[in-house]
Chain A
């Protein structure tokens, strides 16, 4: 199965702030994609997805998102996920503020 499996991260929005969050290797929610755990095995990803989804008081709308593994760490494959790492494109007032 894993031969055609695209690497993935687990992502959601934080219940209290609504901010985009990612599931980290430590089993906690973090705010940047670069700190997210990347899953290359589907079974592990599904199992962690269950764990991550069992915190309804922290995270809302938990799902798996495709990433590519690059020298700079995971980067989103779909443009929607790319926007989620940065914030809106009309003003620099989302996550991009802290990233730059």
Chain B
């Protein structure tokens, strides 16, 4: 894992001192709320519906046991005993007090963490594949690249007052687990003729106008990364619209000017910027990379796992869903579900955080990851330790066997917390999960991603959900729109709207009708929901959703 050097530590301390002074100046009146707002946002602090919310960065979703313990301590000392893991691999605290925030930031700094640039019109926390460094299908670990980008974007003087937020995601695998095609810039590490480089995708994004990113560079030499990304952000900073916040993201700039025009501008700017990088960034990258060396894998028999699978059906079921192949044959990647049926997706109590920290320290080479799907990952676990991990997770109510299934739902905070929301999302997730658990259909249904957002901003990624749900306010009543066929993977697609929305009461029955239809029309059990949808199209689902409307059956 990356460890702060003296520079990083001094930087964060300095920023925290600045923010402490800014809070004091806001309270004293030297700063107006209008002026303070972008400053607090740059430090991750929002004012939400019921309270402030502090969003803490977990850069590229990687943290160690001590960091997780500190997050637990903060939840207990300054909040209400829990935290919420988000789709951008961050953690949010829902109840901090303004005057406590500088102290919280100092506590984070003790474990090399911060809340920098987790909000505001700036380059946000860089995300990455949550299986980075462990995945069997990886060209290269994306985290050193993400860390280099983190350092470059942190406090970048040109880019703190951009037209709008700017999100970067990096993956090292062709299989996209980081939704890079729905980011302002998505970066895929690729190999060409034995050389490692980057494929750069630009202009993806969800929100009011969802778009799948377009290829800006097919193969960028590694050494050109920072000047190229800087040129791209510079072009957008100058060109991006500031008159309408729904048109300010780079996806609109790319859409309005065309990808070829944008590419030409970026290349011109790149030529100008490139000489300002004298190669030190490459040395730094090499140093960063050493921080991410693979752990010292243990060589031991894996029989304990195999035996337990035979002996305990619940364990077998958990290991079927929650374990992914590791690049080392004796190891496994464990996904810890934060989606217990009926619980708030992505929430973990302080106690649960400590259990996960302890498991990472004892069995997981002290590594944890947060996935954009709001679960926690132990990326390096020797298979012989899986039974012990399972037992500990069960104790802590963390052994739900549902990764990738219908109840493994992404849900944004929605109107239970978020000031921008038009409807709630958490109760919808809770009801769907409970309903399908009750029906005992979850495993029969198989791989299915439901994603829920509480407003058009789409933090819950509903556009790329196999089933997407968007909560709206229709004349003062919550109303939910369903989209089908979205996909956040390397075959990214924006879901198609099924038709008129449903009331909160009618929503779960509507989802049930979709599922019944799928089970009915799938060609075989192995055909997933998404495959079925792609084969048969919207028709049968529409007919099931709107049985009274004759037109829809046509």
Q: A residues touching B (Cβ–Cβ < 8 Å)?
A: 13, 15-20, 56-57, 60-61, 77-80, 83-84, 87-91, 93-95
**Taking the nearest CB of chain B, how far is it from the CB of A27, in angstroms?**
20
Beyond A18-B50, A19-B51, A79-B473, 15 additional contacts (C-beta under 8 Å) are: A15-B26, A16-B98, A17-B52, A17-B98, A19-B50, A20-B49, A57-B28, A57-B29, A61-B33, A80-B415, A80-B473, A84-B49, A90-B416, A90-B430, A93-B80
The 8 Å CB contact of A16, one of B27, B344, B476, B478, is: B27
B471 to chain A, nearest CB (A): 11
- B424 interface residue (CB < 8 Å to A): yes
B33, B52, B424: which contacts A89 (Cβ < 8 A)?
B424
Q: Which B residues are in CB contact (< 8 Å) with A87?
A: 50
> What is the distance, in angstroms, from B166's C-beta to the closest C-beta of chain A?
26
A95 x B50 contact (CB < 8 A): yes
Nearest A residue (CB) for B51:
A18
Chain A residues, Cβ within 8 Å of B96: 18
CB-CB contacts below 8 Å: B335-377 with A: 344, 347
Q: How many A-B residue pairs have CB under 8 A?
A: 74
What's the least CB distance linking A99 to chain B, in Å? 13
B33 proximity list for chain A (CB < 8 A) = 56, 60-61
Which residues on the A side are within 8 Å of B415 (C-beta)? Answer: 79-80, 83
Interchain CA distance A15-B94 in the complex, whole Å? 15
Is B426 an interface position by the 8 A CB rule?
Answer: yes
Least Cβ–Cβ distance between B495 and chain A, in angstroms = 25
Bound together, the chains give a CA A89 to CA B26 distance in angstroms of 32
Task: Report how far A93 CA is from B417 CA in the complex, Å.
Answer: 12
Q: Which of B6-45 contact A (CB under 8 A)?
A: 26-29, 32-33
Contact with B417, one of A13, A16, A77, A88 (Cβ below 8 angstroms): A88
Measured CB to CB, the nearest residue on chain A to B416 is A88
**Chain A residues positioned under 8 Å from B321 (CB to CB):** none
Complex CA distance for A19 and B97, rounded to whole angstroms? 9
Most buried by B among A80, A87, A90, A95: A90
The interface residues of chain B lying within 8 Å CB-to-CB of A94 are 50
Q: A61-B47, A80-B415, A83-B415 are in contact. Are A18 and B98 (CB under 8 A)?
A: yes
